[in-house]
Amino acid sequence: MRPIQMVDLKQQYQKIKAEVDAAVLSVLESSAFINGPQVQAFARALATYNNSQYVIPCANGTDALQIAMMALNLQPGDEVITPSFTYIATTEVIALLKLTPVFVDVQPDTFCIDPEAIRKAITPKTKAIVPVHLYGQAANMEEIMQIAIAHNLYVIEDNAQAIGCDYFFTDGRVKKTGTIGTVSGTSFFPSKNLGAYGDGGAMMTDDEALALKLQMVANHGQSKRYYHDMVGCNSRLDTIQAAVLEVKLKYLDEYIAKRRAAADYYDAAFAAHPKLKTPARAAYCNHVFHQYTLIVEGIDRDALNTYLAQHNIPSMIYYPVPAHRQKMFASFNTAGAGLPVTDWLTERVISLPIHTELEEAQLDFITSKVLEFASK
Ligand SMILES: *Cc1c(COP(=O)(O)O)cnc(C)c1O
């Protein structure tokens, strides 16, 4: 049995090495390191895959969210409703732009933002909602869009963990996450479901005027060369990364299927155990399992983490401190206001290895060790 890793990028690379190496070499030979043709070729391929009008590449997923908020012209003091139960990037860019993050709770089954909590948090200052499709499962976008339309709010989807996830609307429409709201941001961090071999990110929208603005903000606010209409930033997807991503996009559906198969294996192994709650799968979407996250009850979660590590099984706590309890947000401290579900989950979640290269022997070993601990 190979050593078990949270994400096995080495093994995955070996399977596509010839294609990736050729793509990278062609960039080196052309020397078009900045904005080479691969960048737009990848953006077009991703737009086709997602059935989205505009894909604007950028340097990373954090920038994607920041640029989206800048392009929407959100102003200091505007309130942005966001879950606290997420990676820090989602909430950090809100504060960076001097907007006001309004942390709300998540649903205990999907781990995603609770539409009811959004409704309660809306004030006259609310300008946007940032749903996070956490661990690869969509937030309840149908309800979120209804709320947004009723209150005239922007929806900025944080799709960093859920690229490729299908969302099923009650009227039969199917859309990819990241193409439902006003705009979305995604990340190509190597461990993400569509990972580059370095940093990368993209924004997506169907709104032409917004697409032009996103492009401008990402490129020094430039309308034509050396003419800068607004304050922007410098956020580009590297050509080498675009070349890698163009190759890997062809395998995304296969990668998702492998992640789902590993999740199925875990689900079957843990289903009957009273102390292990397997991740719920919302009927409205097709979970792409960026993470496989258990909720453990009546078990010392941190001791399980240590026990697995002793058997060379990595496991992670995503995330050990929710945003509303980070020092960064001390001045926005809503910890007292209470996000009971977020706090409850933070104490109980544990993520097991999930990636495209897990073998049955590894899954068998992981599940047997988890069950052994849980049954002690
Ligand atoms: C990874 C991630 C980001 C940020 O992406 P980077 O490319 O690392 O900047 C944002 N939000 C979520 C939920 C993420 O998982």
186 lines ligand 1 (CB under 6 A): no
**Residue located via tokens 């007292």:** 336
Whole-angstrom Cα distance, residue 293 to residue 290?
Answer: 9
Residue 197 alpha carbon to ligand 1 centre in Å: 15
**Atom 2 (ligand 1): residue with closest C-alpha?**
160
Residue 230 alpha carbon to ligand 1 centre in Å: 26
201 lines ligand 1 (CB under 6 A): yes
Q: How far is CA 219 from the centre of its chain?
A: 24
Of 144, 130, 11, residue with least CA distance to 62: 130
pTM confidence score? 0.97
- What residues have CB less than 8 Å from 376, skipping those under 6 apart? none
89 lines ligand 1 (CB under 6 A): yes
Domains in the chain, CATH or no CATH each: 9-249 (3.40.640.10), 252-374 (3.90.1150.10)
329 lines ligand 1 (CB under 6 A): no
Res 334: pLDDT: 56
83 lines ligand 1 (CB under 6 A): no
Whole-angstrom Cα distance, residue 309 to residue 116?
Answer: 38
Q: How would you classify residue 352: left for phi > 0, otherwise alpha for psi between -120 and 50, otherwise beta? A: beta
Residue 70 alpha carbon to ligand 1 centre in Å: 17
Res 337: pLDDT: 64
Pocket test for ligand 1, best of 84, 90, 193 (most atoms within 8 A of CB): 90
Q: What's the start-to-end Cα distance of the chain, in Å?
A: 25
Residue 274 alpha carbon to ligand 1 centre in Å: 33
Of 247, 141, 157, residue with least CA distance to 194: 247
Residue 94 alpha carbon to ligand 1 centre in Å: 14
373 lines ligand 1 (CB under 6 A): no
87 lines ligand 1 (CB under 6 A): yes
Which atom of ligand 1 approaches the CA of 132 most closely?
13
Pocket test for ligand 1, best of 161, 316, 319 (most atoms within 8 A of CB): 161
Mean pLDDT by 10-residue block, N- to C-terminus, for the chain (376 residues)?
95 98 98 97 98 98 98 96 96 96 96 97 97 98 98 98 98 98 98 98 98 98 93 98 98 98 98 96 98 97 98 97 92 70 97 97 98 94
In the 8-state DSSP scheme, what is residue 132?
B
Which atom of ligand 1 approaches the CA of 65 most closely?
10
Which atom of ligand 1 approaches the CA of 201 most closely?
7
Residue 364 alpha carbon to ligand 1 centre in Å: 30
Residue 304 alpha carbon to ligand 1 centre in Å: 26
**Atom 10 (ligand 1): residue with closest C-alpha?**
89
Residue 55 alpha carbon to ligand 1 centre in Å: 17
Alpha helices in the chain (DSSP H): 9-30, 37-50, 61-71, 88-96, 115-121, 141-151, 208-218, 239-249, 252-270, 301-310, 340-348, 360-374
